[in-house]
Chains A and B, each alone.
Chain A
């Protein structure tokens, strides 16, 4: 037992997550994204081996042979965040006011055993979102973004949840999209 955190990395039953814990995590991530709190949002991700994927359709294809809107590893995601933080990323300067509603949260795998094709104790959750973005940078439109997110969550050594992979399937991903310089 790690007395500092009360978390024992060796006990598999302690890896499992509840819908309540996962939901609170997703709501927090959504709030950071809505507030363009870039550093806080990035801090929710694992330090290595991550994928932030926004496919150009359903997430049923090989991203190494077909183009995606976003396919970030840790390095590229950090670059994305640092670019936003320069204050000169004019597509998001000022940042879009936006609010998203997350719903239909399902805990597809609670982390009690290895998720299919992935490491043991990965927690898999899927949810729907509706996001209203006010593009105040130029065109001044209230834009609607709708989709489904699938998160693969992991436990840090201290027991906190973090994001290993996030896939966002936009309902209109097979068609042209407006500027997507904010965080989904």
Chain B
């Protein structure tokens, strides 16, 4: 499994087929080859940091949500001491999942098979007929990922425990994005409480890392929306014409990539779609927290549009998780980015916008799914090369060392794949 050479000049791999990517292009087999997918589950989703959830999803003791680390089911929960834990959703006896619920509140978890019962901290509390038990109870706690760390309430885990620190994984570029998200709240906190919707797509997971961060397709693939809803923030930011728009792309390093729509907005609060008077309290509270200069900046910029490698999409006023199911199957989960410390009407607006844009019935994502599924069909059995060179000759490195370019340029794609190639290299 370790022999896939993604950097070789000639197309040679353990599978005897092609190399998968170079600087500006990707082979279709990278999306369809089961060996690549299996290696990704190990290198990226087991040996690396992945986003699990946000701690505001589980405010009370015993609150839990179920998620997957790669293909391993886990429970993220609020323990009695109010700490956030991530536990294997797998009885340590014979491996039955402890819960199938997407979320809930529990005092303990009891396995349906032989009745083993675990406390919220994952310790084995009791077993029926203990006389025959050979193991010591203390050796039968639920497994935990090797590392779990949170940053600003964003909980990340690393199954193998060999990924280094979360700080190193996020880097300054990633941490800034999460700080930025939280800064939008007048109390610096999120309220991820509206639940998640899943979109089940017949495509590889990486199409979502790409299309979520593709600034080139908005005026084409999504034209059906702009033709009936012309007045959105994306008009001036992206759709106005190649030489006019000011929005940009940015590679923050580490596979964390960004579309800076905000540079092309034509007014403050364009991202929320309301005039300032409508959210006067919010503007005031933001000024109180951050000072006038930063508050005014945030009111212009709104939320980031970025990918935290590999599976967290900061989709403006949405969070999304990219969940790889099979080489040709992915679930794209999303939830509205609700803020703590704002008027309920603010969050209601965010919720309604989220329903409009995202999910299987939204005005945007179904068309992205159509493109992704048609890519998956096109790659077939022998792959074929996909071009990702757009903007290569006009991109530049800014004062922070980030590659930046026009919003339509494939800087995020190259940033994602460049990091992918490093992680997947033999």
Contact = CB atoms under 8 A, between A and B. Distances in A.
Contacts of A86: 223-224, 227-228
Given A69-B359, A69-B360, A88-B223, A137 B373 contact: yes
A100 B117 CA distance: 45
A91 B369 contact: yes
A65 B359 CA distance: 17
B374 interface: yes
Contacts of B202: 138-139, 141, 178
B370 interface: yes
Nearest to A78: B228
Interface stretch (B45-53, B107-115, B160-168, B349-357): B349-357
B325 to A, nearest CB: 9
29 contacts: A56-B195, A64-B351, A65-B193, A67-B351, A67-B354, A69-B361, A70-B361, A71-B352, A79-B229, A82-B228, A86-B223, A86-B228, A87-B224, A89-B367, A90-B221, A92-B366, A138-B202, A138-B369, A138-B373, A138-B377, A139-B377, A141-B202, A174-B102, A175-B198, A176-B198, A177-B197, A178-B199, A179-B360, A181-B366
Interface residues of A, number: 35
A66 interface: yes
Given A79-B228, A90-B221, 18 more contacts: A54-B361, A64-B348, A65-B193, A67-B196, A71-B352, A83-B228, A86-B223, A87-B224, A89-B367, A90-B371, A138-B377, A139-B202, A140-B377, A176-B331, A178-B360, A179-B370, A180-B361, A181-B367
Contact of B360 (A87, A89, A180): A180
A68 interface: yes
Interface string A155-184: 000000000000000000011111111000
A71 B200 CA distance: 20
Instruction: Pick the most buried of A64, A68, A176: most chain B CB atoms within 10 A of its CB.
Output: A176
B333 interface: yes
B14 interface: no
B233 interface: no
Interface in A24-69: 54, 56, 64-69
Nearest to B378: A138
Contacts of B173: none
Contacts of A82: 228
B227 A88 contact: yes
Given A82-B228, A86-B227, A91-B369, A176 B355 contact: no
Given A69-B360, A83-B363, A138 B370 contact: yes
Interface residues of B, number: 41
A69 B361 CA distance: 6
Nearest to B227: A86
Contacts of A174: 102
B335 interface: yes
Contact of B199 (A80, A88, A177): A177
A180 B352 CA distance: 17
A29 to B, nearest CB: 18
Nearest to B223: A88
Contacts of A91: 366-367, 369-370
Interface string B177-195: 0000000000000000111
B355 A178 contact: no
A67 B370 contact: no
B201 interface: yes
Given A71-B352, A176-B199, A181 B361 contact: yes
A139 B355 contact: no
A177 B225 contact: no
Nearest to A73: B352
A67 B361 contact: no
B371 A70 contact: no
A68 B361 CA distance: 10
Interface in A84-139: 86-92, 137-139
B310 interface: no
B336 interface: yes
Contacts of B224: 83, 86-90
A65 B354 CA distance: 12
A53 to B, nearest CB: 10
B132 to A, nearest CB: 38
A177 B376 CA distance: 18
Contacts of B335: 67
Interface in A137-160: 137-141
Smallest CB-CB A-B distances: 7 pairs: A176-B198, A138-B373, A91-B366, A88-B224, A139-B202, A176-B200, A180-B360
A51 to B, nearest CB: 12
Nearest to B371: A90
A90 B331 CA distance: 19
A176 to B, nearest CB: 3
A174 B65 CA distance: 13
A146 B197 CA distance: 18
A142 B361 CA distance: 18
A175 B370 CA distance: 20
A66 B373 contact: no
A179 B355 contact: no
A56 B370 contact: no
Nearest to B345: A64
A66 B196 CA distance: 9
A67 B194 contact: yes
A71 B360 CA distance: 13
A70 B354 CA distance: 10
A138 B336 CA distance: 28
Contacts of A179: 199, 201, 360, 366, 369-370
